[in-house]
Structure 1
Amino acid sequence: MSQYPVIHAVDETLRSLIADHLDTTSFQILDSNPTQRISFQPPHQLMTDNIPTENNLSLFLYRVVENSEVKNRALEARNGNHLHYPPLALNLFYIITPLMKDGNDDEASKNAHKLLGKVMQIFYDHATVKETGLKGVLQNTAEELRIIWNPISIEDMTKLWSSFMRPYYLSVSYEVKVVYIDSERETGAEQVRRKQIEYTQITGV
């Protein structure tokens, strides 16, 4: 189980996963400093006049929803007569966008495609992250994260970029689940102190 900073811990986990598995080409594309070049900011904030300011990879959390599969779990018994509410279970949605500072150059487009392909390969090969791969408040826990490609329509992607008020850049969407945030709510519960059994004898007809 996790505390409320767990969402940022997922950010850090994904950034570390990518940075740790970049090959030489992708490493150089990000100016040999991949950790600082993998940003949690939305892509439009990494641009000036519609042009990326540096070679960056935007790892932007754009949507959070409650996980319906584990939503109605029973209360958990803790501390004697207390029942603890189950944790809030979330699915996180990220948009991944490679941004090259010479955005209109053919070489920049090639580098963006190489970087995006490498990130997709990393997420495919490491679709489940646990134990030492987890960062932040997720460290030293039994939690695990599943990374799932979440293709969205070109119409929805265009709407998303329209909200950024920037021209469209090639992007892909991924879903990460399940992320738990512990509840602080609890309620009292009386223990069973005595059982009473009642029966009625039924005679034959």
Structure 2
Amino acid sequence: MKTILTILIFITISCYGQDKVTGIYSYSREHFSETLQLNDNYTFKYNFMMHFIRQEIIGNYVVAGDSLILNSFPQRDKIIVQENLKGNFRNKKFQVTLKDGYSFNYQLYLITKSNDTIISKNQISRSRSRINELKSFYIIDSKGLKSPTYFLKGTNTNYFDVQFEHIRVFESEKWIIDKKLEKIRPIGMDNEYQNYFLSK
């Protein structure tokens, strides 16, 4: 009897916690909206709209304390880079496309070994920079989607063939959830916590 009572209490607590989390959370302003639907089977559907750009992403979620951990499905690499050596080592060359091969407008951030940052704005397809000690780089597209920072693997490479994933990828991304206020603080495309909340 005691065992049955314990199981019933556990089920009640679990269902109560789940009910407090599941539902539709949203935020909107002029020309922008963001919606996250949390289902009771621990799947989610995320919708993003900015001007004429729309994306819908599905995946799985886990709640751990005040963290909402999101993983999109199917999982994709955010950036793929192939390194090579072509011509003068000091001349760094970047061939940047979307994964489907199309060109797009982007900003390239180059980080040196002394942690200086060199920014190349309004780039399309190809970028060049004359820099001695390049340590890493990342890319931001025109809608603000930021790639992970890529750290160079080769010591004698100067040519980088880059494929960029333009659809947002959630990879163990931790958003902050307030169960009492029924609000979620999201991470934006810039990989930073935003100053607004999605409300239920």
The answer to whether TM tops 0.5 is: no
Q: So what's the TM-score if we normalise by structure 2?
A: 0.24
Higher relative contact order (CA 8 A, sep 6+): 1
Q: So what's the TM-score if we normalise by structure 1?
A: 0.24
Q: Bigger radius of gyration, 1 or 2?
A: 1
Bigger strand fraction: 2
